[in-house]
Structure 1
Amino acid sequence: MRVWEGVWEGHRGKTLGVLAGSALGLIYLFFGLWRMLIFALIVYTGYYIGKKMDRGEPVFPAEDTWRWLMDKWRLFR
């Protein structure tokens, strides 16, 4: 039981992300094609978002993405 408490305290975002990804993946598993690949992708996405939350980073860096897009589009002006 102490192992789970340590995991929860140290990696709360990753744990929630994997649980949410697993739940959504299980729902998809019953209804979709390419079940294993999509399930793995959903679980990994949950893990990735949880890891970002654990590190205190923004889940989607909108400002950096916007700056990158603007730099790319300047080439066409």
Structure 2
Amino acid sequence: MNVNRMDEWLTRMAPYRGRIAGTLFGLLFGIVFLIVGFWRTLFFIFLVLMGYYFGHKIDKREDLVSIVFRILPDKFFKQKPPF
């Protein structure tokens, strides 16, 4: 009976696997910086939200390279984006 519940849960979560993975990555990466203090906590929250954002983009099958080119100004790149 527990196997059926696990299969059902995994089936429900499959469309969100990028968001879940991105959030977990942001969470794990953020814990490294979460030693003490208010600013580190804000930075931790920022990393979790960025992980969720990029995970959401992965779920929508968007190209992460084009997202980075849209976010960062042109002065960060030696050549123009390919689009």
**Shared fold, TM over 0.5:** yes
Task: Report deviation, 1:10.
Answer: 1.5
1:50 is aligned to 55
Q: Post-superposition, which runs of at least 4 consecutive aligned residues in structure 1 deviate over 4 A?
A: none
Cα-to-partner distance string for 1:3-57 (whole Å, 9 max, x where unaligned): 4x122x1201000000000000111102676122101100000000000000001
Give the structure-1-normalised TM-score: 0.69
Residue identity (%):
33
Unaligned runs of 5+ in 2: 1-5, 75-83
Unaligned runs of 5+ in 1: 70-77
1:25 maps onto 2:12 in alignment: no
